Amino acid sequence: MCVRGFASGELVCRKGEYQLDLCFILRGTVDLYERKADKNTFKVASLSEGNFFGELGAIRGQPRTTDVVAAADDTSLLYIPRHCLTFLMGNPVARRMVTERYQERAVRVLAQGLELFKGVAQEFIEQLIRSCEIVRHETRGIPLIQQGEEADALYIVSDGAVQVVVDRPDGSHRILEYLRAGEFFGEMALLGGGVRSANVFTAGRCELVRLDRAAFMELCQRYPKVETHVRSVIERRHRQEKLITPEISEILERSGQLGYVQAAALLVMDLDLCVKCDNCVKACEALHGESRLVRSGVTIGKYLVPVVCRHCEDPRCMNSCPTGAVERRPEGEIYFQYDMCIGCGNCAIACPYDSIAMIETGKFDRAQAKKAAAVGRPFYRPYPVASHCAAPGLWERISAGHAKDEPERLTVVEFAQIHDRNETVSAATQGQVAAEPQVPVAFPIKCDLCNGLPFMGCVHNCPTGAAMRVSSATLFGQTQAIRGGSGPVRKAR
Ligand code: CMP
């Protein structure tokens, strides 16, 4: 946790940045700004003392949805990191406050960007916000809609992805599509035959906005353009369904099982182009002192997907870190903040894709020193962890919420003290200070997309252009390309 002070007009955060803290306004006011297509901004809301923002980032891991600017001198914000939210949510009043605000803003933000609601009056959208329901699921494979059932609602995906599967008369099934944030499902039965045409399952952690039948029908009646749009989507889906061969269905199924659908930056190697020189692996080792890349993994169509961090949309490593040492840069890369790391290995255990390795501290130090030398930075050892050093007044300092020019980031020691306050307080009262620093025996390493360097080592050093980073939406949006039918996919960056 930290407290930051801002002068009037100072930028707190930009739209699109991954700042995942919940921010409480301790003093002053902030204004929220949206950006129009012509890049001009307009104010959408003002929040004052006692209010908060950042619930979409803290709960869902979503980047900031507006620019936030301090609107009064001496504005002071308390930053509660994402990993501390569970403690806060233990308080029923705080939980209700944050959850209600989250629901309202999540639907409003979603509605703003949807083609489905184009031309719909704001009052009607507000009515929908009040009547809809938010449903969250944490794992894949949960049935949301069953083929043949009566239709009772339309669902809009607000986070994550769902998988559409059709059962065929011969007893087989085919994966038709993954639908992601901003897409809807359940429209066919509502506007057509009355019964569901396919099954829909969660494809991982996901969040849905459920509009009941009556609300959806009223929307279509009042706004015929909405119905026209939905019918055009149905036609497109019927056309696309005809292209799904058993082979494509199999590729889609495996990709879902392997979690590729949730990847924000997937490393893929076009096997038609790869000459197996291993330059990608060598470049990784040369840059980081230790290669985080192994040129083996799963083959999807003509692409090899090596076992390497894919910077998940829903990063379990980040959610499992007890000290907040796994962070996301404003641009989306997930990296380790080593001075916060206590070497517990939770991140490596939590990663479902084996993309994080724990390496012994001496080896880690040598690799870090080599990397620091390569980029011309001094090398400092990660913070040594002292157990339960007493720091009288720490809790009071945090609670009082000093305004500071620089973010006041808690060290792991301070975090541990807040975590275990009673022990700290009693240690402080008795004036005990634990002297022995404890250095973790191992540290986690993984790909951080060569953060801090002007290029990605593996991609940059591939002599044939076989290695590339793509978003899963790019890869799976081009299923023909995955099969090898229509050339390479477009690179993400
Ligand atoms: P409905 O028939 O009400 O319930 C199943 C839903 O799956 C259907 O509405 C669509 O929303 C969705 N669906 C069916 N076929 C496809 C497809 N080819 N592509 C994407 N979504 C589909």
CA 253 to centroid of chain Cα atoms: 22
pLDDT tens digit sequence for 397-431: 544 443 344 434 455 455 444 444 333 333 433 44
Nearest to 180 by CA among 200, 152, 215, 156: 156
Q: How many domains, in total, are found in the chain?
A: 3
Q: Is the CB of 164 under 6 A from ligand 1?
A: yes
Query: What pLDDT sits at residue 380?
Result: 65
Q: Is the CB of 466 under 6 A from ligand 1?
A: no
135 Cα–ligand 1 center, Å: 19
Contact predicate 300/479, CB 8 Å = no
User: Are 324 and 367 part of one and the same domain?
Assistant: yes
**How much is the pTM?**
0.72
| Atom in ligand 1 nearest the alpha carbon of residue 154 | 3
Q: What is the CATH number of the domain that holds 304?
A: 3.30.70.20
488 domain-assigned: no
Query: What pLDDT sits at residue 155?
Result: 96
Q: What is the CATH number of the domain that holds 8?
A: 2.60.120.10
Which residue, by CA, sits nearest to atom 3 of ligand 1?
186
Q: Is the CB of 185 under 6 A from ligand 1?
A: yes
Report the C-alpha gap between 183 and 473 in whole angstroms: 13
| Atom in ligand 1 nearest the alpha carbon of residue 185 | 11
Q: Is the CB of 200 under 6 A from ligand 1?
A: yes
Q: Is the CB of 240 under 6 A from ligand 1?
A: yes
Report the C-alpha gap between 68 and 17 in whole angstroms: 11
Q: Which residues of the chain have pLDDT under 70?
A: 37, 374, 378-438, 476-493
131 domain-assigned: yes
User: Are 171 and 99 part of one and the same domain?
Assistant: no
184 domain-assigned: yes
Query: What pLDDT sits at residue 187?
Result: 96
Query: What pLDDT sits at residue 456?
Result: 87
Q: Is the CB of 154 under 6 A from ligand 1?
A: no
The last residue of one of the domains, among 59, 84, 109, is 109
Query: What pLDDT sits at residue 438?
Result: 60
User: Are 277 and 208 part of one and the same domain?
Assistant: no
| Residues sharing a CB contact under 8 Å with residue 306, sequence separation 6 or more, in sequence order | 267, 269, 293, 294, 295, 296, 297
309 domain-assigned: yes
Which residues are 136's β-sheet partners?
A: 207
The last residue of one of the domains, among 59, 83, 109, is 109
Q: Is the CB of 327 under 6 A from ligand 1?
A: no
Question: 208: domain range?
Answer: 114-244
Which residue, by CA, sits nearest to atom 7 of ligand 1?
198
User: Are 305 and 218 part of one and the same domain?
Assistant: no
User: Are 97 and 151 part of one and the same domain?
Assistant: no
414 domain-assigned: no
User: Are 102 and 131 part of one and the same domain?
Assistant: no
198 Cα–ligand 1 center, Å: 6
403 domain-assigned: no
User: Are 469 and 332 part of one and the same domain?
Assistant: yes
35 domain-assigned: yes
140 domain-assigned: yes
What tokens were used for 236? Answer: 């497109």
User: Are 86 and 196 part of one and the same domain?
Assistant: no
- Distances in Å between the Cα of 455 and the Cα atoms of 129, 341, 445, 460 are 43, 26, 19, 6
What tokens were used for 461? Answer: 């050093």
User: Are 146 and 212 part of one and the same domain?
Assistant: yes
User: Are 130 and 240 part of one and the same domain?
Assistant: yes
The last residue of one of the domains, among 109, 134, 167, is 109
What tokens were used for 426? Answer: 């009693």
Q: Is the CB of 248 under 6 A from ligand 1?
A: no
User: Are 150 and 223 part of one and the same domain?
Assistant: yes
User: Are 119 and 230 part of one and the same domain?
Assistant: yes
Query: What pLDDT sits at residue 289?
Result: 75
